[in-house]
Chain A
Amino acid sequence: MFIRLVKFAWKIIWRNFRRTVITGLAVGLGLGSLLFTDALMQGMSAHMINATTESWMGDAQIHRDGFLDTRNINLVIKRPDSTLSMLEQDSTVSFYTPRILSPASATSTTELKPVTLIGVDIETDPEVTMLKTAINSGYYLSGDSTELIIGYKLADDLNAGLGDVIVITVAQAGSGLSSGMFFVSGICRFGSDDLDRYSAFINLSAAGRLLGIPGEIHEIAVRFPQAEMGADTSLGFWHRFSVFGNTALGWPELAPQVGSMLSMIDISMTIMAAILFGLVVFGIVNSLFMSVFERMYEFGVMKAVGTRTGTISIMVILEAFWIAVISTVIGCAIGLLIIWITTRTGISFGEIEVTGIIFDKPLYPVLKLSRLWLYPLFTLILTTAAGIYPGIHAGRLNPAEAMRKSL
């Protein structure tokens, strides 16, 4: 009997071909746009995470306790050699690079600007950051102690170009000021204000000497096989490297504004999905009620010949189920087609900046596999559930009244 009802419901929805197609398209477009928007948001999230971790930060960092809060240059990493040796042997770590960080002033012939001076290990840095590939003009650090790389914005602010002399002044670890004369060997463009306007990169050993802390480091940036591992609080890495008075932190803690932005994207998607699914439910209820009212006499006849209330209700719910199936197929097709096209073309947003991250390149949607079954499943369940109310209404019709009203 149930199989016959399923077939019966399938035939019934095609009685009004136009309405079924329009309803299917309406729900399908909703699902398709949800899939696409979600993929776009995932792409945006991936871009933000990558821009944050790949360009410079790494997936995790190790510092001396208190360094991040105070930026006190005396708070160097304890037992750096042991820590670096442990990192070399750790199976969860792909790459790592040590750094020295210090507030400094950069002075050109005409301007003086505050910067963060960053000492870079040229052997390991290219495996962790994009400094080498971000160089627009000039060349990467080669080990010469007078080489300096600055961002294109800082170069503008300092009115400096390749080969120009920049004097870097820092407060030394012990006391007093220390200055060094550097030549601009490279100008880089990361797409981040912090790195393009407020950072200056020199060789690690030169930075150590300038600050009076040779052989010491302030930070180790770490890259895992996947950036998501940086957000995995269950990873044993955090315990293993939060030792000797040092602390290991993942990117969500290092860049909380990115984490907040990602949470906001998730919440926005949930709200959007809720609104869309709400509209879907009301649309289906409306469509099914129209269908029920058109077929009042038919339901009257069905009840007259002995069809039980529940059987009629189930049949209307099965009609909703078939509309759900059609809508889901249409929605997945529309969503996947748009995603497929845009993953090839990309979507350009001009040059907008969100939490310090510049979206200056086309954004590519990223379809998470879980979304490919989650959203269609929700559509299927909610659209079918939307048939319950009209189904109960149809089932409860008094046969004599239904036939009298529709005459």
Chain B
Amino acid sequence: MTDKDVIVAEGVVKTYDDSGVPVHAVRGIDYTLSKGEFTAIIGPSGSGKTTFLNVLAGLDTPTEGKVWLSGKLISDMSGRELSDFRRDHIGFIFQAYNLFPVLTVEENVEYVMLLQGVPPEERHERVLSILEKVGIAEYAGRLPMQLSGGQQQRVAVARAMVSRPSLVIADEPTANLDSKTSGALLDMMRQLNEDTGMTFLFSTHDEIVMRRARKIVIIRDGKIDGKASSEEIQ
């Protein structure tokens, strides 16, 4: 493991118990993600993409294997340690946006900073700054339901990035968006990646995402089936 590595996964296995029947979602993956990468994990439905992402993000514990994130072994952390670690080091973008419907755009974006104990004035400044970057500063006072799907996903991107995490993980971020909005969102995220050097890791089926990713990891039947650059895929 080097200083440039954000994620190192060694022999990760994840097996579920589905009513007494073991389901082998991830079957022994070794993987390294370096700083500043903009990588997509692709594969057919049920291939284990989301499970692998969950294990890498510390949302799920591996049945076997180890995961280091920003140099810390997260696979052995307690629930509380993991919670704090995710809060401080990982930004999440989910396919269904998953903003808190009762909070305004500004409140949604500042939520993680609130958990981190960032002072109110700094929170406010950082929220406005990130909302401007993602192009929705004028909607700061609106509720999520008053925004379009693309705008909501931009809020989700802002929420994921505002705490300045070392890694942003996005699970099918364009699944609910039309192709034009998906393209615009990915362009924006790639621009943020270039501007901030923040590392992005996606799972996706979407060709638009694949075309914009710099690296692609193919997962099939719970194993890495290949790696490629987006040009190679095309």
Interface residues of A (CB under 8 A from B): 1, 4, 8, 11-12, 14-15, 297-298, 301-309, 311, 398-401, 403-404
**B103 adjacent to A297 (CB under 8 Å):** no
Q: Contact partner of A306 among B51, B84, B98, B101, CB < 8 A? A: B84
Q: Check if B86 is an interface residue, CB within 8 A of chain A.
A: yes
Q: What residue in chain A is nearest B51 (Cβ atoms)?
A: A400
| Given A305-B111, A400-B54: A11 touches B86 (CB 8 Å cut-off) | no
Q: Check if B94 is an interface residue, CB within 8 A of chain A.
A: yes
Q: How far is the CA of A301 from the CA of B101 in the complex (A)?
A: 12
**B114 adjacent to A403 (CB under 8 Å):** no
**B79 adjacent to A12 (CB under 8 Å):** no
| Given A400-B54, A400-B59: A306 touches B87 (CB 8 Å cut-off) | yes
Q: Check if B102 is an interface residue, CB within 8 A of chain A.
A: yes
List chain A residues, Cβ under 8 A from B51.
400
Q: How far is the CA of A307 from the CA of B100 in the complex (A)?
A: 13
* 12 A-B residue pairs with CB within 8 Å: A1-B114, A11-B103, A15-B102, A298-B98, A298-B100, A304-B59, A304-B86, A304-B92, A306-B112, A309-B79, A399-B60, A403-B59
Q: What residue in chain B is nearest A398 (Cβ atoms)?
A: B60
Q: What residue in chain A is nearest B115 (Cβ atoms)?
A: A306
List chain A residues, Cβ under 8 A from B86.
304-306
Q: What residue in chain B is nearest A11 (Cβ atoms)?
A: B102
List chain A residues, Cβ under 8 A from B94.
301, 304, 403
Main secondary structure of the interface of B (DSSP, over half): helix
Q: Contact partner of A297 among B84, B96, B102, B116, CB < 8 A? A: B96
Binary contact readout B85-119 vs A (1 if CB under 8 angstroms, 0 otherwise): 11110001010101011110000000110111100
Q: How far is the CB of B163 from chain A (nearest CB, A)?
A: 8
**A4 adjacent to B83 (CB under 8 Å):** no
Q: How far is the CB of B166 from chain A (nearest CB, A)?
A: 14
Q: Contact partner of A8 among B50, B57, B103, CB < 8 A? A: B103
Q: Check if B80 is an interface residue, CB within 8 A of chain A.
A: yes
Q: How far is the CA of A302 from the CA of B83 in the complex (A)?
A: 10
Q: What residue in chain B is nearest A312 (Cβ atoms)?
A: B83
Q: How far is the CB of B89 from chain A (nearest CB, A)?
A: 9
List chain B residues, Cβ under 8 A from A304.
57, 59, 86, 92, 94
**A301 adjacent to B115 (CB under 8 Å):** no
List chain A residues, Cβ under 8 A from B100.
8, 298, 302
Q: How far is the CB of A53 from chain B (nearest CB, A)?
A: 58
Binary contact readout B152-178 vs A (1 if CB under 8 angstroms, 0 otherwise): 000000010000000000000000000
Contacts across chains A and B counted by CB atoms under 8 Å: 67
Q: Contact partner of B88 among A306, A309, A401, CB < 8 A? A: A306
List chain A residues, Cβ under 8 A from B83.
303, 306-309
**B59 adjacent to A305 (CB under 8 Å):** no
Q: How far is the CA of A196 from the CA of B64 in the complex (A)?
A: 91
Q: How far is the CA of A116 from the CA of B107 in the complex (A)?
A: 82
Q: How far is the CB of B149 from chain A (nearest CB, A)?
A: 16
**A307 adjacent to B103 (CB under 8 Å):** no
List chain B residues, Cβ under 8 A from A305.
86-87, 92, 111-112, 115, 159
Q: How far is the CA of A297 from the CA of B98 in the complex (A)?
A: 8
| Given A12-B102, A301-B94, A403-B94: A307 touches B115 (CB 8 Å cut-off) | yes
List chain A residues, Cβ under 8 A from B59.
303-304, 398-400, 403
List chain A residues, Cβ under 8 A from B79.
309
Q: Contact partner of B115 among A15, A311, A400, A404, CB < 8 A? A: A311
Q: How far is the CB of A376 from chain B (nearest CB, A)?
A: 27
Q: How far is the CA of A303 from the CA of B60 in the complex (A)?
A: 11
Q: What residue in chain B is nearest A297 (Cβ atoms)?
A: B98
**Which chain B residues in 191-212 approach chain A with CB under 8 Å?**
none
Q: What residue in chain A is nearest B159 (Cβ atoms)?
A: A305
Q: What residue in chain A is nearest B14 (Cβ atoms)?
A: A400
Q: What residue in chain B is nearest A15 (Cβ atoms)?
A: B102
Q: How far is the CA of A403 from the CA of B96 in the complex (A)?
A: 11
List chain B residues, Cβ under 8 A from A301.
92, 94, 98
**B80 adjacent to A308 (CB under 8 Å):** yes
Q: How far is the CB of B117 from chain A (nearest CB, A)?
A: 7
List chain B residues, Cβ under 8 A from A298.
98, 100
Q: What residue in chain B is nearest A4 (Cβ atoms)?
A: B114
List chain A residues, Cβ under 8 A from B116.
306
Q: How far is the CB of A190 from chain B (nearest CB, A)?
A: 64
List chain A residues, Cβ under 8 A from B98.
297-298, 301
Binary contact readout B47-89 vs A (1 if CB under 8 angstroms, 0 otherwise): 0001100100101100000000000000000011001111110
Q: How far is the CA of A305 from the CA of B115 in the complex (A)?
A: 9
Q: How far is the CB of B5 from chain A (nearest CB, A)?
A: 22
**A400 adjacent to B111 (CB under 8 Å):** no
Q: How far is the CA of A401 from the CA of B55 in the complex (A)?
A: 12
List chain A residues, Cβ under 8 A from B92.
301, 304-305
Q: What residue in chain B is nearest A404 (Cβ atoms)?
A: B50
Q: How far is the CB of B14 from chain A (nearest CB, A)?
A: 10
Q: How far is the CB of A276 from chain B (nearest CB, A)?
A: 31
List chain B residues, Cβ under 8 A from A307.
83, 87, 115
List chain B residues, Cβ under 8 A from A306.
83-88, 112, 115-116
Instruction: Among A1, A14, A398, A399, find the residue whose CB has the most chain B CB atoms closer than 10 A.
Output: A399
Given contacts A305-B86, A305-B87, 6 further A-B contacts (CB under 8 A): A8-B100, A15-B101, A305-B92, A305-B159, A308-B83, A404-B50
List chain B residues, Cβ under 8 A from A1.
114-115, 117
